[in-house]
Structure 1
Amino acid sequence: MRKQVEIFISGAGVAGLTLALLLADKNISVGLVDPVKALPLPQTPHGTRTAAIQNRFLPLLERSGALEKIKDLCAALKTIRIIDPQGQNFTDKLEALFGAEDIRNDKLSLNIPISFLRAALYDTALNNEFINFFENTRTKNIKFGDVSNIVTLENGNEIEASLCVSADGVNSVFRKEANIGIKSKNYSQTAMTCILSHTKPHENISTEFHYPGGPFTLVPLPGHTSSLVWLEKTELSKKYLSYNKDNIEKLLQQKSQGILGQLSLTSSVDSLPLRSFIAKDFTGNRLILLAESAHCLSPIGAQGLNMSLKDIEIFLEVLSKNIYLGQSIGSRQMLANYNDERRRDTNFRAAAVHGLNQIVSNNLPTSKAVRRFSLNVLKSTPRLKEKVMNIGMGDDQIMK
């Protein structure tokens, strides 16, 4: 039996679920497939990964209906504190603050536990009449057509859709089926994540230490807790990940320089090899790529999930324009508009993140001098500081 929907989404992670709910809000029928069924929110563990969602994209999550369910589990990020420790040729540490007041706002972002966000989105979508779930299976292949695509799932179900959306991650089946290549970089770094409790209040300040292996970043959560994102050279990370709890806590205490008092692990320490890629095209035949099927960047600059939400924002804009002009969902013009808009912005941000990673993740005297010069210029030039912060917060006017 073949099911017909207007838009089929492969991947029910945060991006896929958010898009499904926002499309359903427009009375558009959606098919959604994912091999891993989400747990109900009350049964969902905290996990070690969080995302600092920028102000620009919070309305998308609010419109989905999911954010209200987990607001008490999130924390506002009001200031970013960057610390460049003392080192060769530099006898003092340099500290720079980037506050919400610098961009005339009350906060910079909201730090959200990803596991809770996905569970809240899933709970919200589960009984939506416009969303058809295909759970515990995955996309097997796709047959591209002139007016629609036909998707075959591993459980044998077939779905016909005017447009398909690939939100199925770095190993996207849709991207491979459409023969869309990627441009990738391997940084020989590993990202380690965990949740920490601490004796001193964080005061809604995210603190980022610049170490030779990469940034060590503490991000506020409710109460006396914070999430940690720590980039390190892969060989060293393997050593650290073999430590027992006492030894890893001692190391984290040293790295944090006591800025949050005494630290205690409240989770495991998870890790992920750091790689970066961008798809060579963000569209195919009645197909769009978004989130990590289209791009995957270093966590430096906190662009990851924010870029995925920007994909959704732009997709909804071009879809609305397409419908207003009376064109079919998935028309060539619609796909071209999305592809042009998202590739341009993504390439710009990927280049910026790559350059930042190269400057931050080493202790060479030249790089350290560049870091310190740049921070000092921003500290002493309010208008430039505001402009740079706004670009980092998703402002794309520089690309126009």
Structure 2
Amino acid sequence: MSDSGAIFDLVIAGAGASGLALAAAVKQAMRNGVSIALVDPAPPPAAGAARLRTVAIADGPRRLLERVGAWQAIEPNAQAILKMAIMDGQERDAVRPTHLNFEAKSSGPLAHMAFNDDVVGALAALCDRLEVQRLKASVVHWSPGKRVAALGLSDGRSLRARLGVAADGARSKLGALAGIATVGWDYDQTGIVATIAHERDHEGRAEQHFLPAGPFAILPLPGRRSSIVWNERRADARALLKLDPEDLTRELEFRFTPKLGEIRLASRAEAFPFRFQVARRFVGERLALIGDAAHVVHPLAGQGLNLGLRDVAALAETIVGEMRLGLDPGAAPPLGTYERRRRFDVAAGGLGLDSLNRLFSNDFAALRFLRDLGLRVVDRAPALKDMLIAEAGGAGNGAPKLLRGLAL
């Protein structure tokens, strides 16, 4: 199944959410008419393992997960976001004014919060049910040819593929082997991530507090728990994580504010450095990049997973459309179509988030006045708020079929 004689239609490097979702979407659409291999050195998340990293799932990506058959396993452990409030202030403010509010409409929640391991676990189980071949290895050699590409694996095996997909993260080995460079920069910001238990119900309300060091997000989870993404300058984050739990909780209380009563750490706290990075090309010869291999954005609006699943929807639609016509999914024309569909969305969204982070991660009085005024103007414009919600959801009329809940 995995020697040099095997030719796969699709070989995907990376079994995170984007790689798994692409495999599931294409396999479900083509069934026995497609051969797919997923290559990843790590096993899927173990059931019951301690979870920490959370993801926001917007409306369009939720429809994709529902259409491919993974959402039914994710939803019981997910929390709907029914309200969102954006605030601006100082760390020690007991009460911060709300400048912008969003509320869910009758069409459904603003988004859902879930643990990343739950999303990956559900997609991994789905791929197993669809009999997607899984190889526990990494790609160490890439050589594209006229009709197929040759891949060498870390365990000595070799594969051939009509199309390779790099879904192997921000430090994509397959992207590097293909000579695809990235452009980007580090932020002097680190995100401290933890699960917080609190005394009162959050009622499905998410909050984004813009503080001088950067955003502090409170994201609702099932029960009386919330996930926090706490932006701090890197040196300050290192110092905070060295505190004992009581002192760290006290620092948390200043930023969390007392609205949900007494709080406590319900998990370990970990730090993740933030970076902006975009691949100079989203495609190469017989190769497409998706997810973090193609782009890494500031987590300000929780768009990382959503951008990756938008990639999946666009690439899956392109691949399936070509294969149903008996055409080559790894040829230059369909890959060019995929890149055109995704470049602008990623560039506009990523640079927009970068600009917002720079605008709000400071304490200049005049700038604070102007940005707060801008937020209040948006808050008083229902049509503009609806447009922002629709754009964040990614399920508009021009969106790929899967993001609109339609079959390929």
Shorter-chain TM range is: over 0.9
- Number of the residue aligned with 1:133: 134
1:29 counterpart = 2:30 = no
Q: Secondary structure at the match of 1:44?
A: coil
TM-score by length of 2: 0.91
Match of 1:114 among 116, 122, 131: 116
Letter in 1 for 2:134: F
- Number of the residue aligned with 1:44: 49
Letter in 2 for 1:54: A
1:1-400 aligned at under 5 Å gives the runs: 1-2=3-4, 3-25=6-28, 26-27=30-31, 28-41=34-47, 43-45=48-50, 47-85=51-89, 93-101=97-105, 105-129=107-131, 131-135=132-136, 137-394=137-394
Can you list the C-alpha shifts for 1:54-74, whole angstroms capped at 9, x where unaligned?
A: 011112212333321232211
Give distance in 2, aligned partners of 1:201 and 1:77.
13
Report deviation, 1:92: 7.0
Give distance in 2, aligned partners of 1:50 and 1:231.
15
Give distance in 1, aligned partners of 2:366 and 2:187.
20
Report deviation, 1:24: 1.4
Contact 2:99 2:379 in 1 (8 A): no
Report deviation, 1:291: 0.2
Q: In 2 relative to 1, CA 86–127 (structure 1 residues): closer, same or farther, beyond 3 Å? A: closer
Q: In 2 relative to 1, CA 95–258 (structure 1 residues): closer, same or farther, beyond 3 Å? A: farther
Give distance in 2, aligned partners of 1:352 and 1:263.
33
Report deviation, 1:86: 5.9
Contact 1:141 1:173 in 2 (8 A): no
Report deviation, 1:204: 0.3
Can you list the C-alpha shifts for 1:294-340, whole angstroms capped at 9, x where unaligned?
A: 00011011110000000001112222332355421112110000011
Contact 1:165 1:290 in 2 (8 A): yes
Q: Secondary structure at the match of 1:345?
A: helix
Contact 1:201 1:224 in 2 (8 A): yes
Contact 1:83 1:95 in 2 (8 A): yes
Q: Which moved more, 1:322-331 or 1:228-237?
A: 322-331
Give distance in 2, aligned partners of 1:169 and 1:316.
19
Contact 1:9 1:32 in 2 (8 A): yes
User: Unmatched 5+ residue regions in structure 1?
Assistant: none
| Paired residues, number | 391
Give distance in 2, aligned partners of 1:368 and 1:335.
44
Give distance in 2, aligned partners of 1:92 and 1:64.
42
Letter in 2 for 1:330: G
Q: Secondary structure at the match of 1:312?
A: helix
Report deviation, 1:289: 0.1
Q: In 2 relative to 1, CA 282–92 (structure 1 residues): closer, same or farther, beyond 3 Å? A: closer
Can you list the C-alpha shifts for 1:346-384, whole angstroms capped at 9, x where unaligned?
A: 111011101110111111123312320111111111112
Q: Which moved more, 1:301-310 or 1:374-383?
A: 374-383
Contact 1:208 1:217 in 2 (8 A): yes
Q: Which has the higher contact order (CA 8 A, sep 6+)?
A: 2
Report deviation, 1:173: 1.2
Report deviation, 1:152: 0.5
Can you list the C-alpha shifts for 1:166-204, whole angstroms capped at 9, x where unaligned?
A: 000011111111111111021110011111110011010
Contact 1:94 1:372 in 2 (8 A): no
Report deviation, 1:99: 1.1
Can you list the C-alpha shifts for 1:230-263, whole angstroms capped at 9, x where unaligned?
A: 1111111111111111111111111111122111
Letter in 2 for 1:327: L
Q: Which moved more, 1:263-272 or 1:366-375?
A: 366-375
Contact 2:85 2:98 in 1 (8 A): no
- Superposed CA RMSD in Å reads 2.0
Give distance in 2, aligned partners of 1:49 and 1:318.
31
User: Unmatched 5+ residue regions in structure 2?
Assistant: 400-408
Letter in 1 for 2:115: P
Report deviation, 1:142: 0.8
Q: In 2 relative to 1, CA 94–77 (structure 1 residues): closer, same or farther, beyond 3 Å? A: closer
Q: Secondary structure at the match of 1:126?
A: helix
Give distance in 2, aligned partners of 1:345 and 1:332.
21
